[in-house]
Amino acid sequence: DGGITQSPKYLFRKEGQNVTLSCEQNLNHDAMYWYRQDPGQGLRLIYYSQIVNDFQKGDIAEGYSVSREKKESFPLTVTSAQKNPTAFYLCASTPQTGGSSNQPQHFGDGTRLSIL
C-alpha cells in the first residue's frame, strides 16, 4: 500500500539536543511538507519542498531545518534553537505543486515530540 510513514511515533528531547523526525513516502509525490500542530491552533507550515534538493521556509521555520536529498524522503530536524518544541508534527505530500492543478495533501500519522 502506498502512503506516508513517519517515525518515531513518540520522541523525547533533552535540553540542547537536536532531534530528527523521519518522513518517507512511496506515493511518488513531488511535493512534501512539514506541519506543526498545537492544541487550538490548527496546522502551521514549517517547511516545504516542491522538488529534490530544494525547499522553502513556511510560517514558523525558526529553530527547524530540513533536507530533500531523495524524492521519497524529507527529514525534519528540531534544533536546540527551537525553545518550545513540544507539539505533534505532521508530514504531508502532494503529487504536484501549485498553479491550477493543486491536489489534496496526504498526511502521515505524526510524531509527538516532548521535552524531557
Least distance CB 98 / another protein (angstroms): 3
**By the rule CB under 8 A, 4 interacts with another protein:** yes
Instruction: Select the span of 14-22, 66-74, 78-86, 105-113 touching another protein (CB under 8 A).
Output: 105-113
Among 14, 16, 42, 84, binds another protein (CB under 8 A): 42
Q: In Å, how far are 74, 98, 101, 108 from 61, measured between CA atoms? A: 15, 20, 26, 20
- CB-based contacts of 35, cutoff 8 Å, min separation 6: 43, 44, 45, 46, 89, 90, 91, 92
41 near another protein, judged by CB under 8 A: yes
Where do contacts with another protein occur on this chain (CB under 8 A)?
Answer: 4, 6, 33, 35, 40-45, 48, 56, 58, 90, 92, 97-100, 102, 104-110
